[in-house]
């Protein structure tokens, strides 16, 4: 068996995809749950594969241990925009995209800054007491989940449950044990929310989606639930990781944080380097080959699972100079952290706004903040799809 034919066993750890660019752009891998897949790793090929309509977002249930899920829960979970193809995908995305256009997102900036200030005030209390703060639990996670709750029009009081369910789901994809109970609880909760908002609509996004379903551009009940599921998972998980990873990368080398404090105009470019170097998503949505195909030299059979590794693509030396170095002054960053093509993350403008405010305001409020433990001892959450810290202990007063 040649190196290109050898099966690489993924563990869900941080180094899984960083050494897979050679000998070719596609590698045969085995997920932590034993499922075989093809992993596309190079930038050009990942970009092309993300646009390849022969790779479908449907029919992936058999790859994961969802057997214990009821048919009703499966249907409600698996009909989001990330799990369907055109023309249904086009219809659903058109309905939801209006909430995330840059002009609309800019109107959310004052509220994001207010929520950020409230969280920083709570951190101030910890700092006054000399308490080390976990910036994931106390800052990076609460902000995006509250923003998404308000955007959708769901109860902010349930944010801890949303965080728990979202974390369980993302960690469970491809893992030996699928979080059946957590997903079931999540879907049933959302089913109740849809029923409540149909009876008592407001001016938030979930009510708007329900109204669209009930008028002309119809969304089925499962599509409504699955869309809310997607927004709460993706809107929380990815932005939490972006904020947490970004602050970590700055505090890991304190001179980086000091530089951004002195030159806040450089933060926008720094965020693009966070996205490239430690992006919140390691792999794009899983795809299934709809036919036998030659995929960049690999013989892929109909029904095979294919994963496009955004993390590996963003470390491709043919596109990025010194790809494994974090560079605050990197001028060109055509990263794929938000994907590419028809499934490009519609929440990207909102994620950038939240990260800019959360990271910038944190650095201003706590000029002496330093990591409270050695950088390499901080743990990353396992998972094949997302990349985020389990915790981020910080001494706020140095």
Domain residue limits, the chain: 65-280+321-395
pLDDT at residue 214 in the model: 56
pLDDT at residue 2 in the model: 41
Nearest to 275 by CA among 247, 250, 242: 242
Q: Summarize pLDDT for 17-73 with one digit per residue, the tens.
A: 555 666 689 989 888 888 899 999 999 999 999 999 999 987 665 556 555 788 888
pLDDT at residue 177 in the model: 79
Q: How many angstroms from the chain centroid is the CA of residue 105?
A: 18
pLDDT at residue 56 in the model: 92
Q: Summarize pLDDT for 277-326 with one digit per residue, the tens.
A: 999 998 877 899 999 999 999 999 999 999 999 999 999 999 999 999 99
3-state SS, one letter per residue, for 92-142: HHHHHHHHHCHHHHHHHHHHHHHHHHHHHHHHHHHHHCCCCEEHHHHHHCH
**Dist CA 369 CA 397 (whole Å):** 5
pLDDT at residue 16 in the model: 53
Q: Just give the CATH number of 65-280+321-395.
A: 1.10.630.10
pLDDT at residue 204 in the model: 87
**Residue carrying structure tokens 């993390």:** 311
Q: 0.95 cut: is pTM over it? A: no
pLDDT at residue 1 in the model: 33
Q: Specify the length of the chain in residues.
A: 398
pLDDT at residue 388 in the model: 93
The segments of the chain whose pLDDT lies below 50 read 1-4, 14
């Amino acid at each position: 068996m040649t190196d290109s034919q050898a099966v690489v066993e993924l563990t869900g750890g941080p180094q899984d995809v960083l050494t897979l660019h050679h000998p070719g752009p596609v590698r045969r891998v085995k997920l932590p749950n034993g499922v075989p897949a093809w992993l596309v790793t190079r930038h050009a090929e990942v970009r092309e594969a993300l646009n390849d309509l022969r790779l479908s977002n449907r029919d992936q249930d058999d790859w994961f241990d969802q057997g214990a899920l009821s048919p009703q829960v499966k249907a409600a979970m698996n009909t989001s925009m990330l799990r369907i193809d055109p023309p249904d995908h086009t219809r659903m995305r058109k309905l939801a995209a209006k909430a995330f256009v840059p002009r609309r997102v800019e109107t959310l900036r004052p509220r994001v800054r207010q929520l950020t200030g409230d969280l920083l005030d709570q951190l101030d209390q910890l700092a006054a007491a000399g308490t080390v703060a976990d910036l994931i639990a106390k800052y990076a996670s609460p902000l995006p989940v509250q923003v998404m709750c308000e955007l959708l029009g769901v109860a902010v009081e349930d944010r801890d449950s949303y965080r728990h369910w979202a974390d369980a789901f993302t960690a469970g994809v491809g893992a030996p044990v699928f979080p059946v109970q957590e997903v079931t609880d999540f879907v049933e909760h959302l089913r109740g929310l849809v029923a409540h908002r149909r009876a008592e609509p407001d001016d938030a996004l979930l009510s708007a989606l329900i109204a669209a379903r009930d008028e002309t551009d119809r969304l089925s009940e499962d599509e409504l639930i699955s869309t809310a599921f997607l927004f709460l998972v993706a809107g929380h998980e990815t932005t939490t990781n972006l904020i947490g990873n970004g602050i970590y990368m700055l505090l890991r080398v304190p001179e980086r944080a000091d530089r951004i404090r002195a030159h806040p105009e450089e933060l926008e470019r720094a965020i693009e380097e966070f996205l490239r170097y430690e992006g919140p998503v390691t792999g794009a949505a899983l795809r299934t080959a709809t036919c036998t195909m030659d995929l960049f030299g690999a013989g892929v059979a109909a029904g095979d699972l294919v994963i496009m590794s955004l993390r590996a693509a963003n470390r491709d030396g043919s596109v990025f100079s010194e790809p494994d170095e974090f560079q605050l002054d990197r001028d060109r960053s055509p990263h794929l952290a938000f994907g590419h093509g028809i499934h490009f993350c519609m929440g990207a403008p909102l994620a950038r706004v939240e990260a800019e405010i959360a990271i910038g305001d944190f650095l201003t409020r706590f000029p002496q903040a330093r990591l409270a433990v050695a950088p390499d001892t901080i743990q990353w959450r396992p998972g094949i799809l997302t990349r985020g810290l389990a915790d981020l202990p910080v001494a706020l007063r140095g």
